[in-house]
Amino acid sequence: MTPSLEPHKINIAIDGHASTGKSTTAKELAKRLGYVYVDTGAMYRAMTLWALENGWIGPDFLDKEALIASLDRVDIRFRFNPATGKSETFLNGINVEDQIRRPGIADYVSRVAEIPEVRRKLVEIQQQIAREKGVIMDGRDIGTVVMPNAELKIFMTASPEIRAERRFRELREKGMDVDYEEILRNVRERDRIDSTRKASPLRKAGDARLLDNSQLSPQEQYDIIMNWVKEVLREKGGI
């Protein structure tokens, strides 16, 4: 058999705490490497929007049974938008990319993401995408559950205060009227729920590389990760 001249592609799993810049990093890497980027948080957010639209979740209630019974009727997928050069999230055929980024979703998403039936459905879709190599996926359980065989696993973290500040600035730039203390509370609460839930809690895979970016500039962080990518690609004969 003739050896393939295609460069060897790897899968990259990026996990970590909320607002650590996972998606910005993953998108940059995907662009640089020509890989497919999958934002799994967007899928949990879309599921949360579905629950909200149907009135199954509120400040003090969650109708898990109704949500679980509806799972066969939920279609969540990504479509590449050539006009923006970005992949956008669709819920049952409707573009919900902007809606799922609103703080109203962040308030409820952890509670939806802790339902095992929801996770099972979304993990199945994610694993199907990962079958083709050349995928960069970010989330909470990518290195541990979704792509346990990913060639490169990265676990990103930063202090809660720094993450809240970054989120605060980001939302303000989008013209939203937000409160820093409230964002900090939300970051802490999400950490707590994400790390202590029974179904696939957020934890670093044993073979993941830890990246605390509290004191790193975006460029410094990018350089560290790119060096890891090159190292793994060299090992795999990809470059």
Residues in contact with ligand DC by the rule CB under 6 A = 18, 40-41, 44-45, 109-110, 113, 139-141, 190, 194
Task: Tell me the closest approach of the beta carbon of residue 198 to ligand DC, in angstroms.
Answer: 12
Tell the smallest beta-carbon distance from residue 110 to ligand DC (Å): 4
Shortest distance (Å) from residue 149 CB to ligand DC: 16
At 157, which helix (H) or strand (E)? strand 152-157
Beta bridge partners of 157: 212
Cα separations in angstroms, 222 against 62, 141, 165: 40, 22, 20
Alpha helices for the chain (secondary structure H): 22-33, 40-53, 64-69, 103-113, 116-130, 160-173, 180-196, 218-235
**Tokens standing for residue 45:** 């957010």
CB of 214 to ligand DC, least distance (A): 18
Q: CA torsion 134→105→80→7, rounded to 10°?
A: -10
Q: Considering the complex, state which of residue 12 and residue 233 has its C-beta at the smaller distance from ligand DC.
A: 12
Nearest CB to ligand DC, comparing residues 53 and 231 = 53
Complex with ligand DC: residue 8 or 193, whichever CB lies closer:
193
**Separation between Cα atoms, residue 102 and residue 196, nearest integer Å:** 24
Taking the complex as a whole, how short is the minimal distance between the CB of residue 226 and ligand DC, in angstroms? 22
* Smaller CB separation from ligand DC, 199 or 224: 199
CB of 199 to ligand DC, least distance (A): 9
Counting every residue written for the chain, the total comes to 239
Of 42, 175, 150, whose CA–CA distance to 96 is shortest?
A: 42
172/192 with CB nearer ligand DC: 192
111 or 209: CB nearest ligand DC: 111
Nearest to 47 by CA among 98, 110, 103: 110
